Structure 1
Amino acid sequence: MRRLSAGAVVAYAALAVYAVVSLYPFAWMVSGAFKDRLEILEGGHLIPRRPTLATLADTWSRLHFFDYFLNSLKVTGLTVLGVLVVYSLAGYAFAMVDFPGRRFVFWFFVALLFVPSITVLLPLTILENKLNILGTHTGLILPFVNGTAPLAVLMLTAAFRAVPHDLHDAATADGAGELRIFWRVYLPLARPTLITIGVLTAVPTWNEYVLTRVSLNDESRYTLPLALERLASGTVPSYNEIMAGSLILVVPVIVLFLALQRYFVNGLSGAVKN
């Protein structure tokens, strides 16, 4: 049996503490979703004494889940599609195509990682108002696609550079053009990275609140975070229903991550190695 060094023990202990601190609020949310209104006000205990599904059922009905779920699915799905299409092409260009100013443009994209998104909220709102897309789903999708640019370009460029150049030379010798080489050779080999970027794009887009709150006024276009806010803004908020709504909101994200976990881990490890 291998003995752990003192440094490893400290690192594992710190990670364990971090895991407990991170999971504790989530555990309370799950617990509250199965409590009735009286028990949630009593507090003091994590495990429900009188577990009930009535809170989830009532919240599901009040939240009008499917109406807002379709809006969230539309915004998230089109955002992920836009990110994968636009930045896979951009990443391939940065990795394989020699054009003037390539290094400058690439590092410009990377530098945008350090720009807080909140700083562009006001100019973005003004621009969307002038373009007549403020308050529409298009006005959400385009900024979300643009906001993912730095990370997506960085990861995809690294993934495409890791592909042996001999494959590109062989495909060129067979008469394939750049688009065909990109589609038939490089894109399949970058699948773990593409899935990783898809997950990293889908999760914050699904949970986005600030821009949607500023942009959307028509309730028929609300996404799930705004529907949850409306549920919580009652005169006397029901904390068990708020926790139930939060659980309903995060379940699709958890299912997505669990389904794609293997590809996600492979994509991250590949990006770190590159």
Structure 2
Amino acid sequence: MRAGTRPSAGMVVAYLALAVYAAISLYPFAWMVSGAFKNRLEILEGGNLIPRSPTLDTLVDTWGRLNFFDYFLNSLKVTGLTVLGVLVVYSLASYAFAMIEFPGRRAIFWFFVALLFVPSITVLLPLTILESRLGILGTHIGLVLPFVNGTAPLTVLLLTNAFRAIPRELHDAARADGAGEVRIFLRVYLPLVRPTLITVAVLTAVPTWNEYPLSRVSLNEESRYTLPLALEQLASGNVPSYNEIMAGSLILVVPVIVLFLALQRYFVNGLSGAVKE
């Protein structure tokens, strides 16, 4: 909209609708933040969104007494290894799809893309049986490998398009200078797709950090629990402490929010660049 021009009625209605939708979406989050700073008595009373006597005791107790730091480290380990595996494996695979001619390249690429339409829950049972036979069921590596595999369709699609968007002349010039494919990949192409790599990292880290179904089926030892399972323990007690549940939820979502805010510029640039062909 240009400066000095009056918005049309349609735009006003659209903005009002978006504002109402944003308020409805943010209201539960605001209650979660509010509850994390209330004591048990005040949250049971309900009432005001803003705490009467804000306290950090609930967050401190949830973090310390309930061993949330250990669960936090477990989630960090699983998420970090998953992101690392995705970036290493699928950056190489996507470079091959984009730049190297080999038999069946298009068929294999579109097979990966087609997997986008397969619901992940449908492979939960066979995946559990396979991991049990491999002896990795109940371990963190038993979470990391399926997570890495599950990100293949979208990651390959984004990174392949990002590599294809780079002028082919750069590849030919590097080959003329005597560089091999590995050196071209590491020195020329990988730096140029950094925004897309960051986008892939964020798109991988967020669902991995929040993942629940496979973790619930796989992990039985409490010492290996991730944050979503720790949060479930809080909610499944005989007398749930809702302020502690809110505090645990806040601990769970804050790292994701911080990650997105820190990388949103790269995320937007990488996503817009990767979908261009």
Q: Contact 2:62 / 2:248 at 8 angstroms: preserved in 1? A: yes
Shift of 1:167: 0.5
Residue type of the partner of 2:151? T
Give the alignment's Cα RMSD to 1 decimal.
1.3
Give a deviation string over 1:68-115, Cα, whole Å, max 9, x none: 111111110000000000100111111111111111111111111111
Alignment correspondent of 1:196: 199
Q: 2:140 aligns with which of 137, 141, 144?
A: 137
Q: Distance in 2 between matches of 1:158 and 1:2?
A: 39
Q: 1:185 aligns with which of 171, 180, 188?
A: 188
Structure 2, unaligned stretches of length 5 or more?
Answer: none
Q: Contact 1:28 / 1:46 at 8 angstroms: preserved in 2? A: yes
Query: Residue 260 of structure 1 aligns to a residue in which SS?
Result: helix
Alignment correspondent of 2:160: 157
Q: How does 1:254-269 map to 2 (within 5 A)?
A: 254-269=257-272
Residue type of the partner of 1:146? N
Query: Residue 273 of structure 1 aligns to a residue in which SS?
Result: coil
TM-score by length of 2: 0.95
Q: Distance in 1 between matches of 2:5 and 2:66?
A: 52
Alignment correspondent of 2:94: 91
Query: Residue 30 of structure 2 aligns to a residue in which SS?
Result: helix
Give a deviation string over 1:113-140, Cα, whole Å, max 9, x none: 1111111100100110111110011110
Q: 1:48 aligns with which of 47, 51, 55?
A: 51
Q: How does 1:55-134 map to 2 (within 5 A)?
A: 55-134=58-137
Residues 107, 3 of structure 1: CA spacing in aligned structure 2 closer, same or farther, 3 A cutoff?
farther
Q: Contact 1:63 / 1:228 at 8 angstroms: preserved in 2? A: no
Alignment correspondent of 1:176: 179
Query: Residue 90 of structure 1 aligns to a residue in which SS?
Result: helix
Q: Contact 1:88 / 1:156 at 8 angstroms: preserved in 2? A: yes
Shift of 1:6: 4.6
Q: Contact 2:63 / 2:69 at 8 angstroms: preserved in 1? A: no
Name the % identity. 85
Shift of 1:10: 4.0
Q: Does 1:222 align with 2:238?
A: no
Q: Does 1:211 align with 2:214?
A: yes
Alignment correspondent of 1:34: 37
Query: Residue 275 of structure 2 aligns to a residue in which SS?
Result: helix
Structure 1, unaligned stretches of length 5 or more?
Answer: none
TM-score by length of 1: 0.96
Give a deviation string over 1:42-69, Cα, whole Å, max 9, x none: 1132111121111111111233122111
Residue type of the partner of 1:121? L
Alignment correspondent of 1:248: 251
Q: Distance in 2 between matches of 1:4 and 1:268?
A: 30
Q: Distance in 2 between matches of 1:44 and 1:193?
A: 45
Bigger mean CA offset, 11-20 vs 88-97: 11-20
Residue type of the partner of 1:152? T
Q: Contact 2:165 / 2:276 at 8 angstroms: preserved in 1? A: no
Moved over 4 A (4+): none
Bigger mean CA offset, 228-237 vs 27-36: 228-237
